[in-house]
Amino acid sequence: MKVAVIGGGPGGLYAAALLKRLDPDREITLWERNAPDDTFGFGVVLSDETLGGIEHADPEVYEALQRDFVRWDDIDIVQRGVTHRSTGHGFAALGRRRLLEILHARCRSLGVDIRFRTEAPSPDRLSASYDLVIAADGVRSTVRETYPQEFRPQVSEHRCRYIWLAADFAFDAFRFEIAETGHGPMQLHGYPYAADASTVIVEMREEVWKAAGFDEITPHESIEACAKIFADALRGRPLRSHRSAWTTFRTVVNDRWSHGNVVLLGDAAHTAHFSIGSGTKLAVEDALALAACLSEQPTLEAALTAYEEERKPVVASTQRAARASLEWFENLPLYLGQPPRQFAFNLLTRSRRVTHDNLRLRDAHFTEAVEREFGCPSGTPPMFMPFRLRGLTLRNRVVVSPMDMYSAVDGVPGDFHLVHLGARALGGAGLVMTEMVCVSDQGRITPGCTGLYTGRQAEAWRRVTDFVHTQAPGTAIGVQLGHSGRKGSTKLMWEGIDEPLPRGNWPLVAASPLPYKPGSQTPRQLSRAQLTDIREQFTAAAWRAARAGFDLLELHCAHGYLLSGFLSPLTNRRTDAYGGSPERRLRFPLEVFDAVRAVWPAERPMTVRISATDWAEGGTTAEDAVEIARAFAAHGVDAIDVSTGQVVAEERPEFGRSYQTPFADRIRNSAGVPVIAVGAISSWDDVNSLILAGRTDLCALGRPHLYDPHWTLHAAAEQGYEGPGVHWPAPYRAGGRRPQTGRTDAPKPRLTLGS
């Protein structure tokens, strides 16, 4: 096999070395446009996981790296003159130039032909002359740009400027320092990479960078200014650069990673923000996987397919973590008012990869100090702290999220609802929410939706609330009121979600006469008189909800249902007083809120669920959501339940663990209103992490409660908690200890070669 490698960074070099070591008969040529010692970074951080893969695949490279690594365990977070140190993190770093020297030497010893200061031939020419072309040519990949229709790249630039520098001394920890200047906050990321040298990255929002005048001074003047701003961190020492320049980070995602015999690797295929230190790690792991797949698969085509299938999910997970970290630093001003120790915890858990439980294993002393500052009694996880909403005190921070069951007859909740909601109330959550309860028969989503538009329905709901209050004392039960709008008159979810009924349809109404998707029924635009009628339907339902014994009422203004349809510019095309500007689009939802608040008992709280983004161009944005939350807060809402999407059928959500929580975080810390976070929060560790970091006040979980009705009780048992934040029903106390399980073996190393 003849292999061409374009790009002499760590990924390209390591791929060349591995492929040559696996089969010495391979003819491997690598092109690098720069000189051997020409590198634009300073230090490289590698994880123990990556090093383990290198050790098994090539002990010689591993031993060479080991001799030069600088290792440390601590992270320092410096904010407003206060330093908090967290330990137990386990970093290993070395100079990027030294890493390249080791890989150069390994490639030469194996017989790889490296051509420095040489532009690679065109990708078309290489693919015609070689069996395999590895494009490791970086974030601005020529190969990727040559085949845009095949790789389908998406490149996003972000809001911060940064510059990559170095200092001639070694930090004794990974250091994050915040400087609050007259122009805005700036941050330093620093870590040692040799006994006498450290990487220093200075980063700030674009508007801060311009306000400070960095766009008008020379690179040398920039470096001197950064050294002065962070003089304490640098101990008064200067900074140096190697052709360093201010830049913005570019996130690269590709739909496909291979085209014919050409394959992308490292930054050419994907990038992950430097704040989680994964660029070199990902490139090296790409090389390991590609080499393994080429050895395991019978054909090149099968190998490249296997490589992409193996690496894409791993990279996507890392990119989600990197995006969360990047956005945390972009939104740094939101957190500067936090107590320094909570700020430090928030920073450490920003990517959602380090969690409360994980951090407690690494550094129990630091984590317990954060908990004490938060107000947790000894042995009380954050999720079991009480929370007060108006006259209602929830005994813990767990909410059973509203989940449509589509199991009612004529809007009446039956035995299924009693068992469904009753079981989850017995399961220990602080608040159990009903599904969306419709305010009229024509406001239903499906024929199976529950309602509160008749006295019979209210009586049936009273049966449920009585059970909860009697059999699960201390658990609150809330009702979510809504109207389907243009998303009504559809089949039950399992018969065809959002598909129109084949018969028995009812007319639909909405803010504007726009069908939800092709084939959907077109709604009528609501007149002024109809708006009044619907507002009265909401108030009548709220009055019945109060009589039925609900403790909390939530107004459903999300997911493209009627009130949500007024809020989004994609679904509200009105030209009257209820459409156009954000203030006008808010008018009807606020009118309904005010009317419901007027009949809802004053001591009982009201929340509002919103879609904080439409996940579609031209729709509601995170910034819009903050203003929507502020408007409801001004009208007396007690908390905002922050969901996203389902407003338009053409949405493109960015799914992932806890993927909606950043929107709740932004609203809480921008608008100053309590929030309920939702969206793929699946573990009690996530709940503890989000609450302790100050990103949310309550966490709503849906699917986990479908999987395990007693999710909260089990979370308490698994954490050894037996305090007042959870109540085991007497008949269930014997189940308060986690059952034993069998052992599981760790996965084997990805690629093991003989020495």
Supply the residues annotated as catalytic. 561
The partner residues of 55 in beta bridges, in order of sequence, read none
Query: At 670, which amino acid appears?
Result: S
What's the token pair of residue 344?
């430090």
Q: Are strands 524-525 and 262-264 parallel, antiparallel or unpaired?
A: unpaired
What's the token pair of residue 523?
């709604």
CA distance 90 to 88: 6
How far is Cα of residue 124 from the mean position of the Cα atoms in its chain? Answer: 38
Nearest to 273 by CA among 320, 312, 221: 320
Per the rule left: phi > 0, alpha: psi between -120 and 50, beta: everything else, 288 is alpha
What's the token pair of residue 107?
């490639």
Distance between first and last Cα of the chain:
22
Q: Go through the chain and tell me how many residues it has.
A: 755
Nearest to 198 by CA among 245, 225, 250, 233: 233
In the chain, how long is the greatest CA-to-CA distance? 85
318 CB-near residues (< 8 Å, 6+ apart): 272, 276, 278, 282
Query: At 262, which amino acid appears?
Result: V
Task: Give one DSSP letter per residue of 279-317, joined into a string.
Answer: HHHHHHHHHHHHHHHHHHSSSHHHHHHHHHHHHHHHHHH
Place of tokens 């001197």: 224
Neighbours of 531 (CB within 10 A): 18
Q: Are strands 675-677 and 639-643 parallel, antiparallel or unpaired?
A: parallel
Query: At 441, which amino acid appears?
Result: D
In the chain, helix, strand, coil percent, each to 5?
40, 20, 40
The partner residues of 178 in beta bridges, in order of sequence, read 187
Residue 478 has φ and ψ, to the nearest 5°, of -115, 155
CA distance 643 to 623: 14
Cβ atoms of residues 475 and 468 within 8 Å:
yes
641 CB-near residues (< 8 Å, 6+ apart): 554, 558, 607, 608, 609, 610, 675, 676, 678, 700
CA distance 538 to 404: 19
Cβ atoms of residues 609 and 555 within 8 Å:
yes
Nearest to 334 by CA among 324, 345, 346: 346
Nearest to 431 by CA among 638, 680, 707: 638
Task: Give one DSSP letter per residue of 455-481, joined into a string.
Answer: HHHHHHHHHHHHHHHHHSTT-EEEEEE
Place of tokens 């060479």: 64
311 exposed, middle or buried (CB, 10 Å; 0-12, 13-18, 19+)? buried
Nearest to 90 by CA among 59, 53, 45: 45
